Structure formats: structure tokens, C-alpha cells
Structure 1
Amino acid sequence: MTQQQPGQTARTDDGAEQVTTGTDTPQAADTATPELVIISGMSGAGRSTAAKCLEDLGWFVVDNLPPALIPTMVELGARSQGNVARIAVVVDVRGRRFFDNLRESLTELDARQVRRRFVFLESSDDALVRRFESVRRPHPLQGDGRIVDGIAAERELLRELRGDADLVIDTSGLNVHQLRAKMDAQFAGEEEPELRATVMSFGFKYGLPVDADLVVDMRFLPNPHWVPELRPYTGLNEEVSSYVFSQPGAKEFLDRYTELLHMIAAGYRREGKRYVTVAVGCTGGKHRSVAMSEKLAKRLAADGVETVVVHRDMGRE
């Protein structure tokens, strides 16, 4: 039998091309590297729900995969002849040497130019405590302490990881269906856009959105709440929007902040960041922030950024 040299092309009996690797076992020539999503975050924040959503969208999902095995999983997907084109893995901090193994795996994936995204599920302490108490399960890191002790320990362990995430989703006020809707909005498209943006209006009196990348404050504008005929309406109504943008500085802010977002979006694209959440706040999240969010979203969409608008606090009293 003639010995094939490494890198030479041979053909099997059915005519398929194979590339020799210097061993007796040929390697398939057509090995497309799968797209990879890594899901992590706080225990109880909805990692399993996010994973099930991706599974319903056709992703091959592996739950609780040790970080050291992520490159192996990608390699197996590459050998599947296109049958496994998208892989999602769920990782958490219970594994030994979690962060060392994860960093080593990410370094290896980057060296192989694997297209990967990192999704981090976040939630408030109060929401996490309620969820653990409702299912009567201990937090995996609480040991002999309380649930809040385990949450605090995990939050500290994940602090650096959260900062590296491409997409942070705060599930504090979300039910299962709302979380699935957020995942669908980010991953259901057949073609991945260069950048996706969420423009979120909110009320400062209800707290800052923890998943915001950028935060701006509309409280420098007069509040329509104090105009009796406008108080019942929201920033979605033309009367309120016209009032907001008739105020000194409103249109200038929109123009200049749009220019700033164009520059930031270009930088995000260069750095490979595919998601950004812009939070626009006012006192109650009903008038000024809503009107400005709608205008900003239209400007971003006109610039080729796929944009979703969320009004977090508009329905609150």
C-alpha cells in the first residue's frame, strides 16, 4: 500500500476526499468549525432556560460541561460534516479549577479563530433568594451558611467573568417566557448581524438596569409629569414626544449622542462585541426616557444596527 504524505488528498471508496495527517487514520477535508455560545452566570438566574431556548432554535446544547472540555466539544462538532453547526455550552463555578480551565480553553479557541460568544445571566439577590426558597434547594456554594452567603460568594467569583461577557441579561424581573423572548430576539435570526443594540428606557427611582453597557440621564429636560394634560400619557404619544423635543437641548443631545454611539458602535465591531445595551433614564421611566429611546433606536437602525426597544418601567404607577 502506498503511504500517503501528511497533507495529501486521498479518496475513499465512495469518492469522498480525505486529508492524511501522517497516521493511518484519514481526516475529513471539509471540517467547518461550529459557532459557539458559552452560557454562564448566577445560579438561579435562568441558565437552563436560556439553554433550552437555544436548543429549541436548533443549537446543540451541552449543560454543565467542564470548561476544559469546550475545545474538545468544538472539535467533535467540526468533525460532524456540518451536522453540528452551532454549539451552546452551559458552565458554572462548581467545577474544579473553573477559571484556570476556562481561560485555557478560551485561549485555545481564540488561537483556532473559533467564533464564540459569551452570555452571562444576572439577577438581583432578592430575586435569587426567592427562587431558591420556592424550590427549597440550597445554593451550590452556601455550604453550612445561608442562601445569601452562597450568592455573595458566587457573585464575587464571577465578577471578572461578567465583565468579559458579550451579552448580559438581567432576569430579576423576567418570567420564563420573557427570558425566552429575549434569547429569541438575540439568536433567532438566521444571519448574525454585525451589532445588535437594545435601547432601554428606565426610571431612576426604580434603580439602574444592571445589564446596561451605557447609561444616559434625561432629567436635564423638563418633566412632562408636571404638565397636567400630559401626565396620563407616555413618551410613545406624539404629544409627549413633541413636548420633550421642543425643550432646549433635547434635539442637540439626540444629534450628538447619536454621533457618539456611531463611534462606539464602530469600536465594538472592531473588538468583536456584538451586543450593546443603551439605558436611557428619567425619574419614572414613563415620559422623557421613553421618547428619547424611541428616537435613538430609529437613528441606530438607520445606521445599520439591529435594534430592539424595551421600556422597562413605563407601565409602573
Structure 2
Amino acid sequence: MKKIPKKQKRDPEDIELMIITGLSGAGKSEALRYFEDAGYYCIDNLPAHLLMGLIDFFSLKDCKVKKIALAIDLRSGYFFDEIYKILERLKEKDIRFRILFLEASKSVITKRYSLTRRRHPLVDSGNLGDGIEKEIKRMQKLRDKADVIIDTTFLNAKELRAAITERIMTGDEKSRLLQISVISFGYKYAMPENMDIVMDVRFLPNPYYDEDLKDLDGRNEKIIDFVLNREETKKFLRMFEKMLDFLIPNYIAEGKSYLGIGIGCTGGRHRSVVISDKINEYLNLKGYSAKLYHEDIRKK
């Protein structure tokens, strides 16, 4: 009988697991949305006893998922208490994980439940306050194991996102939280939608009026030299890059997940292509997650 080859495992260092837990009503759903925006594969309310099977799947060499965020709480019922055994097994397998524990004051949780009219997992027909007290006691052991504890009593959703960024994300991870699109376009057609910053570079000399250059586009070395080897272009790039150095960290701090930067010239084939390429290159060198798009480069 032919043996079925064992599936290869990848290095445990390739997997990053974030466990989001805490008190009901403290903001776990918003935290999970945050990690989804940050590029994590997110699962809500996974029963603890299924966690290792999931990790085994993600550990396969062919699996491309690297970052996983799991929200686990008392909705799992009696399975919840298995989480402590699972944490020990994760350590034995050298799988990196962090625990984020969210909490809030009893009065604020009570207010949030009264606003949403949702049922607390430990309250069937009794008092909500008693249910919250029971949950606090049952979650204490897991709270003690948490790497980061965030009190959301005085935080709205935007402020919670900022707190997670500040408390959990490294410098490189913070830079990657914001997805940036750098788009060149021609004003003679239309400005792309969803642009947050738009730069009009029609003040730069236009290679279109040079018969030797007009049929080339901004990816050609002759056009690149024509646009970049000018003092006004160099000065503009320095000023624009300095402005982005100021704006982008502040956008990230405010919880913004997408930034559209439009660079426009008359036809979208020459000046805007060269400048957008330089800006995209600059942002990636700074560690940001930027992608380049040329909207109108093929139009004539």
C-alpha cells in the first residue's frame, strides 16, 4: 500500500497569533475589525478546543496566512476553560502569540448593553450586574496572562483603535497599517475617486511639446530625465515628501486605513507618471505599504 506523504510544516516563526479577549461589551468586536484592517485573518468566537486544529492547518507549508487574530470569550461556554491548556500547547510548539485583554467599568458595560439591547452571555433571566461580576471573576485568570490590557471605559471606537496601535504595533507594523495608493491621472479625462491628497503638477514643463518626446510616456528614461533634472522639480519633491512625512503618521494615529494620493497633469502620460513613481518609491523606502497605479498612461 502506497504511503501518503506527510504534509510539510513551516517555521513556527512565520505565524503570528493575536488572541483578543476580555469582558463582554468592552470592545472586542471593534478590536477584531481593527486587526482585519491591519491584514490579519480574523475569526470571531472560535471555541477554544478548535484552536489547535486551526493552528495546525495554518502551520502547513502551503498555507499563505501569516497573521491571525482570534476573538475568544465566554460565549464558547464550557469550552472556554480549555484555553489555558491550549496556551501551553502553543508555547510547546514555539508559536508566537500575544493576548490582548479588553475591559471597562461595570457601569459603562451596563450602559453599553442597555443601548444595544443585546443579551450578556452570563445572564439568562437574572440581573445584568451579577452577570458582569461573574464574568470578571471567570476572566481574571486569563487577564493575568495578558500581554496588553486596555481599559475602554473612556474610549470610543476611534480612540480604541489608536490605543491598540500605540500599545501593540511596532514601528514597522504601524507603517503598514495604512494602505496607500499613488495614482497618476490626466485632468483632461477625470480625477480618480476617493483621493485624499491631490497634487497638480502642470506647473512643470511639459515634454508633450517636444517632438522627440511627445509619443513616449513617463516610464521612459528620456521623459524621466526631462522631468526630474530641473530645479523646480527637485524643490517640489523635497517639499511634498516633507509634507507626507508629517501627514501620514498623523493619519495612522487617527486610525485611517486607506490613503489615496493623486498626481495629475494634463494628459496623465508624462509628468504625473514620473512624479507618482518617485513618490511611490519614496513611501516604500520609508516602510509604508504603497502601490502605484497609472490611470491614463495608455490614453492619447
- Equivalent positions of 1:117-132 (< 5 A) are 117-132=98-113
Alignment of 1:175 with 2:153, yes or no, is: no
User: Structure 1: where are the runs of 5+ without partners?
Assistant: 4-22, 194-317
For 1:79, the aligned partner's letter is L
SS of the residue corresponding to residue 77 of structure 2 reads coil
User: Larger % of helix: which?
Assistant: 2
Q: Distance in 2 between matches of 1:34 and 1:26?
A: 20
Q: Which has the higher contact order (CA 8 A, sep 6+)?
A: 2
Partner of 2:83: 102
Partner of 2:74: 93
When Rg is computed on C-alpha atoms for both structures, the one with the higher figure is 2
Deviation at 1:183, TM superposition (A): 1.5
1:65 to 46, 59, 73: 46
Alignment of 1:83 with 2:88, yes or no, is: no
Equivalenced residue count is: 173
| Contact 1:54–1:187 (CA under 8 A) maintained in structure 2 | no
Partner of 2:8: 28
| Contact 1:68–1:104 (CA under 8 A) maintained in structure 2 | no
Deviation at 1:187, TM superposition (A): 4.2
Deviation at 1:81, TM superposition (A): 3.2
For 1:71, the aligned partner's letter is M
When residues 27 and 155 of structure 1 are mapped into structure 2, their CA distance, relative to the original with a 3 A threshold, is: same
For 2:23, the aligned partner's letter is M
2:166 to 171, 185, 196: 185
Runs of 4+ residues over 4 Å off in structure 1: 29-33, 190-193
With the length of structure 2 as denominator, give the TM-score of the two structures: 0.53
Deviation at 1:59, TM superposition (A): 0.5
CA RMSD of aligned residues (A): 2.3
Alignment of 1:150 with 2:123, yes or no, is: no
For 2:47, the aligned partner's letter is P
Deviation at 1:95, TM superposition (A): 2.0
Q: Distance in 1 between matches of 2:112 and 2:39?
A: 28
Q: Tell me the alpha carbon deviations over residues 133-182 of structure 1, each in whole angstroms, 9 at most, x when there is no partner.
A: 00112212112112111111111111111111110000000000000111
| Contact 1:42–1:122 (CA under 8 A) maintained in structure 2 | yes
1:40 to 12, 18, 21: 21
Percent of aligned positions with the same letter in both sequences?
A: 35
Q: Distance in 2 between matches of 1:159 and 1:90?
A: 17
Q: Tell me the alpha carbon deviations over residues 191-225 of structure 1, each in whole angstroms, 9 at most, x when there is no partner.
A: 579xxxxxxxxxxxxxxxxxxxxxxxxxxxxxxxx
2:97 to 103, 107, 116: 116
For 2:119, the aligned partner's letter is P
For 1:39, the aligned partner's letter is I
